[in-house]
Amino acid sequence: MAGLGAWNLARAALIILLLPRSLEQCGHISLSAPIVRLGDPITASCTISQNCSHLDSESHIVWKLEAELQPGERQQYLPNGTLQSTITLPHLNRSRALLSCCLHWGNSLQILDQAELQAGYPPATPHNLSCLMNLTTNSLTCQWEPGPNTHLSTNFTLKSFKSRGNCQSREDSIPDCVPEDGQSHCSIPRKHLQLYQNMGIWVQAKNALGTSVSPKLCLVPMDVVKLEPPTLWALGPSPEVAPPQPGCLRLRWETWKPSLHIDQKCELRHQPLLGEASWDLVGALPSRTLQYELCGLLPSTAYALQMRCTRWRLPGHWSNWSPSLELTTTQRAPTVRMDTWWRQRQLDPRTVDVQLFWQPVPLEEDSGQIQGYLVSLRPSDKAGADPMLCNTTELNCTFQLPSEAREVILEAYNTAGTSHPTPVVFLESGGPPLGRLHTVARDPHSLWVGWEPPSPQPRGYVIEWGLGPPSPSGSPKTWRMEHNGSIAGTLLQENIRPFQLYEITVTPLYQDTKGPSQHIYAYSQEMAPSHGPELHLRHIGKTWAQLEWVPEAPELGRSPLTHYTIFWTNAQDRSFSTVLNASSHSFVLRGLEPSSLYHVHLMAASQVWATNSTSLTLMTLALGFPLTLEESELHILLGLFGLLVLLICLCGAAQLCCRPRKNPLWPSVPDPAHSSLGSWVPTITTEDTFQLPSLRDSSMPPITKITVLEEEEKKPGPWESNDSSGTCGLPSLVQAYVLQGDPRVPRMQPQPQSGTSDQVLYVQVLGSPTGPRPGHYLRCDSTQPLLGGLTPSPKSYENLWFQTSPLGTPEPLVPNPEDDCIFEPLLDFPLLQGLRVSGVEGLGGF
């Protein structure tokens, strides 16, 4: 603050030096109040004297609060010629601020005058006034709480007076006590006090905004006296006094010398040095005794003791606690139970090497401190010298015994005595073994070992555990005894470290024997795989890539793999991933972009860790790139399959061509030059044959000749031949071969007849096999060769036998009686038995 004030003074001096000569003593600031309550408004005015009237008439006064420009309310010329500007700050929210009146001078803003504004609060009422009579300084010291900060300079004064009554009337005034700056306590010296007379005391607080006083305190100085604490000492041993019992302490104290004439009562408290126990308070102790024996403490334990005192039977204040006195209680003989275990090794037929282990189990909370252990061959109360086997502070001992020895005695001792002797009987192995032994790692620092209890139930178990191979065989092991024979497992938490192999041994204990030991190995926590499998690219295509890897062999102490995760990223940093089970050895990435770069890596994960394998960068093939091996193989297979299908089709076509058979697509027309009646007449079925009279009917004369009659020339029909050699309008597509005589009688090759060798007998069949009228045939004579210029089979749309009527129904071909052809019933054409008419529903009357 002093530095800040010096800086303000220097700045003001610099401003004065920099002011032009014509502006010196030119302006002055007046305030409505130099100090206001924080948040209240304040008004200021700046007046420019007449000696500045030569300034420009347009000059304007500017206000600044610290570095911020403030708008002025009004600016006017007074009758005496001075210029005045007024400003009102509605809320002064700063405890201290500098207000400046400025005027424009050239291109700069010149400060004419400055005023410091202060704001704060009136003083709060002091409270919690209390006084103590200090016999050491021989003064009455009072203290109070001043209340919240007022942001203003506040003065506190401790006022008092003497009074005979209850402080309602004043007798003698006592000089005011003014504390130092920032202090909230003050001391009235002894010369202004009457130790046994009432006094009225209060505190007054005052600043620029007001004054406040605390409530009055009426007291007698000696009633508020505070004694000094006593001094504690340990009470040493004395021949006349017996030593303290275990768990007891003896101490004495000396009171403060100026208070020897004052009756006092004191309090004692104690606390163990180790641990976090709280203080225990002992009731009032008479100060005249000056010594005390404290019992009920823990044996062989260090304690801190403190004492304080006050006036006895008169008002007064407790003294402060005395400095701590540290004492240790006496020891007691150990009260413990010994859990024991051993290992034996036969050195020779008469000597056995024994390694004995033990663990003390306290029977009481204050079981006594143990300083060492004794192992002897016989109890100490027997006659004769006791052969001492061990005297050690450790929890194990190795010694040799005769082969016939079956028992030793173990004791714990300290300076106060020995514990109850614990017999150790070396049991023989003869009990039943445990059932299935198993372990589970609960966390990195514990192992659960379980078993199936044998029958009969043991009285307890001994569990040993230590680092397994390859640790040295002599490495220390931890062991524990479980006295509950019905349990089926226990949690091992001592000396268990993560990622270590432990050998665990469990031995059942029976009443007079023990069972065989069972061993098991377990890891407290399995480690992650040392490294992941190496990733390889097997095949790649335009939109796919096949990856493969070789799984790592299982490692001892490492967690087995549970799954793989494949990550791949394209050139646009888009990431993809997929999870595979631990049995997977390959994977195909699909949906890739052609001619694109991808980064792939494989992560192998177990139940506890995950390990990344080597990364792989690959580029897919372009669209015009040659075929890969698998694509070539696929194309070869497709080509072979196509050749096979083509070969099958060719074979089928050859078979159809070489082996004629009835074609289902069109009727089979026999070749007259290479056929006989018996070879091409098909079997007659009831469904496809006409119901004709039997050829052997004697009433039906045999056909001997087909006569072709001439007819008048007329315009041929759409299905009639235009050949001038034809004498009958018969279509060439429907032709039948007629056999002279009975067709069922074998005949020789017919002899050619003179004059008629160029004639071919054929017939036109008219009528419907399913109609009610009998069928007819038209016999004609023609000199047209039968096989000359065979008409090919008509297409499905070239069937000219059927014409469509204007109504859309087929019109049957009805013979005209005026034609030269002769119509007779179809009774003497046995070849028509082989004619199969299909689609009769559209033939009309045919």
| Bridging pattern class, strands 127-134 and 225-226 | parallel
Q: Is the pLDDT of residue 85 over 70?
A: yes
Provide mean pLDDT across the span 9-31.
Answer: 56
The pLDDT of residue 321 is 94
Q: Between 278 and 680, whose confidence is greater?
A: 278
Would you place residue 9 in the very low, low, confident or very high pLDDT band (cuts 50, 70, 90)? very low
Choose the weakest-confidence range: 232-241, 387-396, 732-741. 732-741
Would you place residue 444 in the very low, low, confident or very high pLDDT band (cuts 50, 70, 90)? confident
User: Which residues lie closer than 8 Å to 702 by C-beta, 6 or more apart?
Assistant: 740, 741, 742, 828
Rounded to an integer, what distance in angstroms lies between the CA atom of residue 359 and that of residue 373? Answer: 11
Name the DSSP class of 345. Answer: E
User: Which residues lie closer than 8 Å to 552 by C-beta, 6 or more apart?
Assistant: 529, 530, 531, 532, 533, 604
Provide mean pLDDT across the span 582-609.
Answer: 87
Name the DSSP class of 659. Answer: S
Number of CB atoms found within 10 A of residue 514's CB: 20
Would you place residue 67 in the very low, low, confident or very high pLDDT band (cuts 50, 70, 90)? confident
CA 809 to chain centre: 84
DSSP 3-state of 247: coil
Tell me the pLDDT of the chain averaged across its residues. 76
Rounded to an integer, what distance in angstroms lies between the CA atom of residue 261 and that of residue 459? Answer: 70
Q: Is the pLDDT of residue 3 over 70?
A: no
Tokens 């089926």 locate to: 488
Provide mean pLDDT across the span 558-587.
Answer: 88
Where b means 16+ CB within 10 Å and e means fewer, 395-406 reads ebbebebeeeee
pLDDT in tens, 110-159: 888 899 999 999 999 999 999 999 888 889 999 999 989 999 999 999 99
Q: Which domains does the chain have, with CATH numbers?
A: 22-120 (2.60.40.10), 127-225 (2.60.40.10), 227-328 (2.60.40.10), 336-425 (2.60.40.10), 435-522 (2.60.40.10), 535-620 (2.60.40.10)
| Torsion-angle region of 722 (φ positive above 0: left; ψ -120 to 50: alpha; else: beta) | alpha
Name the DSSP class of 530. Answer: S
Q: Compute the residue count for the chain.
A: 846
Q: Between 468 and 577, whose confidence is greater?
A: 577
User: Which residues lie closer than 8 Å to 525 by C-beta, 6 or more apart?
Assistant: 441, 443, 444, 498, 499, 608
Choose the weakest-confidence range: 358-372, 482-496, 520-534, 643-657. 520-534
Would you place residue 598 in the very low, low, confident or very high pLDDT band (cuts 50, 70, 90)? very high
Q: Is the pLDDT of residue 761 over 90?
A: no
pLDDT in tens, 419-435: 999 999 998 888 899 98
Provide mean pLDDT across the span 524-529.
Answer: 73
Choose the weakest-confidence range: 221-225, 370-374, 638-642, 784-788. 784-788
Rounded to an integer, what distance in angstroms lies between the CA atom of residue 695 and that of residue 828? Answer: 7
Q: Between 117 and 821, whose confidence is greater?
A: 117
The pLDDT of residue 247 is 83
- Candidates 390, 383, 373, 301; CA nearest to 338 is 373
Would you place residue 290 in the very low, low, confident or very high pLDDT band (cuts 50, 70, 90)? confident
328: burial class by Cβ within 10 Å (0-12, 13-18, 19+)?
middle
Provide mean pLDDT across the span 89-109.
Answer: 85
Would you place residue 312 in the very low, low, confident or very high pLDDT band (cuts 50, 70, 90)? confident
pLDDT in tens, 778-799: 444 444 444 444 455 555 444 4
| Bridging pattern class, strands 42-48 and 27-31 | antiparallel
Q: Between 120 and 840, whose confidence is greater?
A: 120
Query: Which residues are paired to 481 by β-bridges?
Result: 462
- Of all residues in the chain, the percent with pLDDT exceeding 90 is 26
Rounded to an integer, what distance in angstroms lies between the CA atom of residue 297 and that of residue 299? Answer: 6
The pLDDT of residue 450 is 94
User: Which residues lie closer than 8 Å to 311 by C-beta, 6 or more apart?
Assistant: 225, 227, 262, 263, 264
| Tokens of residue 168, six digits | 């309602």
The pLDDT of residue 55 is 58
- Output 189-197 pairs: Cβ under 8 A, ≥24 positions apart: 189/138, 189/139, 190/138, 190/139, 193/139, 193/140, 193/221, 194/162, 194/221, 195/133, 195/220, 195/221, 195/222, 196/220, 196/221, 196/222, 197/162, 197/163, 197/164, 197/221
Would you place residue 597 in the very low, low, confident or very high pLDDT band (cuts 50, 70, 90)? very high
User: Which residues lie closer than 8 Å to 766 by C-beta, 6 or more apart?
Assistant: 775, 776, 777, 778, 813, 814, 815, 823, 846
Provide mean pLDDT across the span 90-107.
Answer: 85
User: Which residues lie closer than 8 Å to 415 by C-beta, 6 or more apart?
Assistant: 331, 371
Q: Is the pLDDT of residue 372 over 90?
A: yes
Q: Is the pLDDT of residue 263 over 70?
A: yes
Rounded to an integer, what distance in angstroms lies between the CA atom of residue 178 and that of residue 158? Answer: 6
What radius of gyration do the chain's Cα atoms show? Answer: 67
